[in-house]
Amino acid sequence: MAEQQLLVFKLDSEEYALPVLQIREIIKYQGATKLPNANSSLEGIINLRNKIIPVINLAKIFDLNNEVDTDSRVIIVENNIQDLGIIVNAVTEVLRIDENLIEKPPLQNKHSYIKGIGRTDTRMLMLLDLNELLETNNIQEVTQLR
Q: What share of the chain is helix, strand, coil (3-state, %, to 5)?
A: 10, 45, 40
Torsion angle of the four alpha carbons 16, 61, 66, 114, in this order, in degrees rounded to the nearest 10: -20
Residue 108 lies in a domain: yes
> Which range of residues forms the domain containing residue 76?
3-136
Residue 146 lies in a domain: no
The proportion of the chain whose per-residue pLDDT surpasses 90, expressed as a percent, equals 51
Residue 141 lies in a domain: no
CATH number at residue 35: 2.40.50.180
Question: In the structure, what pLDDT confidence band is assigned to residue 108 with cuts at 50, 70 and 90?
Answer: low
Residue 47 lies in a domain: yes
- What is the rounded average pLDDT of the residues 92-115? 83
Residue 145 lies in a domain: no
Residue 142 lies in a domain: no
What are the strands of the beta sheet with 73-77, ordered from one edge?
23-28, 73-77, 84-88, 51-57, 42-48
pLDDT at site 139: 61
- What is the rounded average pLDDT of the residues 44-54? 94
**Total count of domains within the chain:** 1
pLDDT at site 143: 53
When computed from its CA atoms, the radius of gyration of the chain, rounded to whole angstroms, is 15
pLDDT at 145 over 80: no
